[in-house]
Amino acid sequence: MPDMIQSHRNWALWLGFLLALGALLCNAVFFVNPPGKRAIPWLSVLLAGVSLIFLVRGLQRAFGQPRVYLGKILSSIVALVSLLLVGVAIFSFFQARAIPASAGAPKVGQTAPDFTLADTSGQAVSMAQLFAPAADGSQVVPPKAVLLIFYRGYW
């Protein structure tokens, strides 16, 4: 590489790349299920945004002074890869929030709709039965409340 003495590391570009990587990888935190995880999606967006700023800065340097800061081709590749990472991070953010509004769901104080559904043994269980003491004697005292956990399924 010519002019080695004068070349500087394009730190803005590499920082942009690291931030883009961070934006994507902070989604991995969900596997650990920590408290305060509600902030993680927004952290991802923040990192993505800051990453873009540094990528632009890095590209400006690379194209403005290609001999000093990496080369135009190499920096374009780094920027493109970073942009891809940012794209995936932003896409994941919007995908995870693409949830229906559920305006008709029962609110606090309203009556929950009744139902009868099959349990894992195929036996029909009504809501009233959920409040009864368990048949196998495992629950002598009837529960005060049931916690209905609706989940996506197909795990």
Contact status, residue 89 vs residue 27, Cβ threshold 8 Å: yes
Our finding on whether 127 is near another protein (CB under 8 A) is yes
- 152 near another protein, judged by CB under 8 A: yes
Min dist CB 16 to another protein, Å, is 25
The 71-110 contact track toward another protein, x by CB under 8 A, reads -------------------------xx-xx-xxxxxxxxx
Note whether 44 and 26 are within 8 A (CB). Answer: yes
Q: How far is the CB of 96 from another protein (least distance, A)?
A: 5
Cβ contact 58:12 at 8 Å: yes
Burial 133-146 (b: 16+ CB within 10 A, else e): eeeeeeeeeeeeee
Round to whole Å and give the CA distance between 31 and 86. Answer: 20
Residues of this chain that interact with another protein (CB under 8 A) are 27, 30, 33, 35, 37-38, 40-41, 96-97, 99-100, 102-115, 117-122, 125, 127, 130-131, 139, 141-155
